[in-house]
Amino acid sequence: MKFFVDTADTAEIRDLAETGLLDGVTTNPSLVHKSGKDFLEVVKEICGIVPGPVSAEVVATDHDEMMREAEILRKIAGNIAVKVPLTIDGLKTCKKLTADGTMVNVTLCFTANQALLAAKAGATFISPFVGRHDDIGFDGMQIISEIRMIYDNYDFETQILVASVRHPVHVLEAAKIGADVMTAPPKVIRQLFNHPLTDNGLKAFLADWEKTGQKIG
């Protein structure tokens, strides 16, 4: 499963990229607002840090204007994935852009039927939001299983990008289902490394090593 980080914070992206585990980045208008930076500039900077797909979202709601914004976004770098909402205009835009060889991430997906539409529109990535579903009392992961089944039934190449990830169990479940990608905030990616037994074990090993009075090299 590929790991994308869901942030527009370039310091965090640089830091996580050094682990070698980062396959891409997703942003959205709210994350850009949080970064306090100029949208086009921050996206360009991110594209220079991570060679994998960097999702940048259009903010227009009609097809023509989405295409105009997408033209600007896709010129930023070769690793841009234009993010469009799961609407009729968004999927029209998706169809055109992917036919032209541009990566497209269809966002704000909340049902397996919506994911089916996105795959038929040639989406590179579909982003079902699991956390927001859980927030309103539904099982967000159930949709991921349904999408996996539907995409496998018809050999769709659209990659399932599990989004709105809130905790490590979401990552575990996504991997068990066989999602292609997950995108998580930096905090959740860091949580994946942690276990108290790892910390305690390391502490004990280092304390015993100290007692040997030896050095390596």
Binding site for ligand E4P (CB under 6 A): 6, 26, 28, 107, 127, 129, 131-132, 163-164, 183
**Alpha helices per DSSP H over the chain:** 10-17, 29-35, 39-49, 63-74, 88-99, 112-120, 130-135, 140-154, 168-177, 186-193, 196-212
For 19-51, give one letter per residue: b (16+ CB within 10 A) or e. eeebbbbbbbeebbeebeeebeebbebbbeebe
In the residue annotation, 187 being an active-site residue is answered as no
What is the nearest approach in angstroms of ligand E4P to the Cβ of residue 152? Answer: 23
C-alpha gyration radius of the chain? 20
Which of 17, 25 has the CB closer to ligand E4P? 25
Tell me how far CA of residue 40 lies from CA of 3, 78, 135, in angstroms.
Answer: 23, 14, 31
Judged by beta carbon, residue 51 or residue 131, the one nearer ligand E4P is 131
Distance in Å, CB of 159 to ligand E4P, minimum:
13
> CB-wise, 28 or 158, nearer to ligand E4P?
28
Q: Smaller CB distance to ligand E4P: residue 110 or 129?
A: 129
- Active-site residue identified among 34, 83, 176, 211: 83
Provide the minimum distance between the beta carbon of 205 and ligand E4P in the complex, in angstroms, as a whole number: 37
CA dihedral 43, 7, 29, 57 (to 10 degrees): 50
Q: Taking the complex as a whole, how short is the minimal distance between the CB of residue 184 and ligand E4P, in angstroms? A: 8
Catalytic residue list: 83
